[in-house]
Structure 1
Amino acid sequence: MGPCGCGKSTVGNSLAIRISWPFIEGDDYHSDKNRVKMSMGIPLNDEDRLPWLQSLRNELMQHKNAILACSALKKSYRNILSSSNDVNDPTRTLFVLLSANKSLLQKRVSERRGHFIHPSLIESQLETLESFGEDEKYLVIDASNSLTDITQQIMNTLST
């Protein structure tokens, strides 16, 4: 999870291959309307995101384990994604925040080809990003680390 350009898809794909879990690309579940808004640099609001988050939650519920690449910037969004999980269940949703500074995000987004996210959305996503709550299971990783290191950190956390 994290803002655009932090490496969600790259890390998610790598991790899915390493641990043989299904990978769900959150961007694939956006409506055409949302894609158009984001391509124009218009941030999505909670109303725009709700059907998208519900679709992602429904997809997650189809799998025993899965890896989801999704911004999940607000606690309320993460609550929707993990709403089928029991807080006392040690296997509940692990949120992995790929933390990156604004300049790294801008560099990565500007180098993308064929993606609908407008670079101006970085700022609004950073402003929207909320800290984790005490009831959330999470891991924060520096997104500037190597893909191998990031993947290994997540695997180490999943195995504990």
Structure 2
Amino acid sequence: MTPKKMIVMGVSGCGKSSIGSHLAKTLGLNFFDGDDFHPPENVRKMSQGIPLNDDDRTEWLATLNQLLRQESHAVLACSALKPDYRAQLRDGVDDLVWVYLQGDFGTIWQRHQQRSDHYFNGRTMLESQFATLVEPAQDEALFVDIRQTQAAVLQEILNRLPETGSLVESPMVERNKG
């Protein structure tokens, strides 16, 4: 059965929003970008190049958890950097599939430098996320290497999910024939 709730996770710039939105569209699920739910104070801090701490994230994670509890079909893009954050997100949420978009600092920093009009930017901010990141256990999430094209990343995720072969095609993905 195709999952009904998924979290696409990883550090800023790994492609969570783009991959998550295409994944949601392909699977017929609602997409939510966790960045859209940060309280104004968090956005202000990040805009000033100040990394968030655990206290800053508490309200935000509670809001995202509530969203996942309320939505019957959802893909959420969220950094989910620590095991505690992931536990808070999955509290009371059944059948949640995690996709970890894994990349090295150099690849992701190169992507950051090409960004414009995003409040999260700067080498120090990205270094902070890598310092905070505790990768999920191998059995906790699908690990996907982001050094491949976005289409290949999406295809890999779809190939590794149960019963996605009969889905309508996404413009981003070329389904394997035969």
TM-score, normalisation: structure 2: 0.81
- Measured after TM superposition, the shift of residue 77 of structure 1 is 0.3
Q: Is the 8 A contact 1:40 1:118 kept in 2?
A: no
- Measured after TM superposition, the shift of residue 22 of structure 1 is 0.4
Partner in structure 2 of residue 97 of structure 1: 100
Partner in structure 2 of residue 9 of structure 1: 17
**In 2, Cα distance between equivalents of 1:114 and 1:145:** 25
- Aligned-residue Cα RMSD (Å) equals 1.5
Letter in 2 for 1:113: S
- Measured after TM superposition, the shift of residue 118 of structure 1 is 2.3
Cα offsets for 1:127-149 (capped at 9, x unmatched):
11113247x63111111111122
**In 1, Cα distance between equivalents of 2:119 and 2:23:** 24
Q: Give ranges in structure 2 of 5+ residues lacking alignment.
A: 1-8, 164-178
Q: Is the 8 A contact 1:75 1:133 kept in 2?
A: no
Aligned residue pairs, count: 154
Letter in 1 for 2:130: L
Q: Work out which of the residue numbers 17, 28, 37 in structure 1 matches 2:36.
A: 28
**In 2, Cα distance between equivalents of 1:148 and 1:111:** 19
Partner in structure 2 of residue 58 of structure 1: 66
Cα offsets for 1:5-26 (capped at 9, x unmatched):
1000010011111111000100
> Structure 1 runs of 4+ off > 6 angstroms?
none
**In 2, Cα distance between equivalents of 1:85 and 1:44:** 25
**In 1, Cα distance between equivalents of 2:36 and 2:115:** 16
Q: Work out which of the residue numbers 63, 84, 90 in structure 2 matches 1:82.
A: 90
**In 1, Cα distance between equivalents of 2:143 and 2:137:** 13
- Measured after TM superposition, the shift of residue 157 of structure 1 is 2.6
- Measured after TM superposition, the shift of residue 158 of structure 1 is 2.4
Cα offsets for 1:82-135 (capped at 9, x unmatched):
11135xxxxx2222111111111111112111110022211110111113247x
Q: Is the 8 A contact 1:97 1:139 kept in 2?
A: yes
Structure 1 residue 43 corresponds to structure 2 residue 51: yes
**In 2, Cα distance between equivalents of 1:16 and 1:61:** 17
Q: Secondary structure at the match of 1:61?
A: helix
**In 1, Cα distance between equivalents of 2:112 and 2:43:** 16
**In 1, Cα distance between equivalents of 2:42 and 2:71:** 26
Larger Rg over CA atoms: 2
Letter in 2 for 1:93: L
Spell out the pairing of 1:106-125 with structure 2 (5 A cutoff).
106-119=109-122, 120-125=124-129
